[in-house]
Amino acid sequence: MRVFLLLLFVCSLLNCFFILFRLVSGTDGSDVSQTSMLWTKKGQDATMNCSHTKDATFYQMYWYRQLPGETMEQVVFTSTAQRGGEHDFGAFSKEKFSATKTEAERGTFTVKEVQPEDKGLYFCAVSQHSDTNP
């Protein structure tokens, strides 16, 4: 499995820190890609792109984050099939995070007004819709 990382460096006058965006894809990583590196300042938004070359049945996208010393958590589930473009943020705030998913093959995830406590690993994953009902 190939893993891609996006380093997001956030700097202020007193400190610099980074957010690692990490993408885990299929067996060799060649089907899914993302922004390679992004620099931003504290208080600015950080947007990450995710795209894949699988077919259009892979229209579901998940964004996860793992803060230092913590377990991975799903931040948002997005899908082009969701009515009204509403994404499922679960317990996470739409004030802090946003996502777009207008095409099956691509989507974005934004951490709004980045702060030092936002540093961590951010993962993108895609999945194929499967109907298990007979």
> Looking at residue 79, which CATH number applies to its domain?
2.60.40.10
SS3 of residue 51 by DSSP: strand
Q: Note the pTM of the prediction, 2 decimals.
A: 0.74
Range(s) of the domain holding residue 42:
3-127
**Position 90 in a domain:** yes
| 53 occurs within a structural domain | yes
How far is residue 85's CA from residue 106's CA, in Å, rounded to a whole number? 14
Does residue 50 form part of some domain?
yes
**Domains held by the chain: number:** 1
Looking at residue 88, the DSSP 8-state letter turns out to be: B
Does the pLDDT at position 109 exceed 90? Answer: yes
Asked whether residue 134 is assigned to any structural domain, the reply reads no
pLDDT digits (tens, 9 = 90+) for 25-79: 444 455 877 766 667 788 999 999 998 888 888 888 888 888 889 998 999 999 8
pLDDT, greater one: 4 or 78? 78
Domain membership of residue 58 (yes or no) is yes
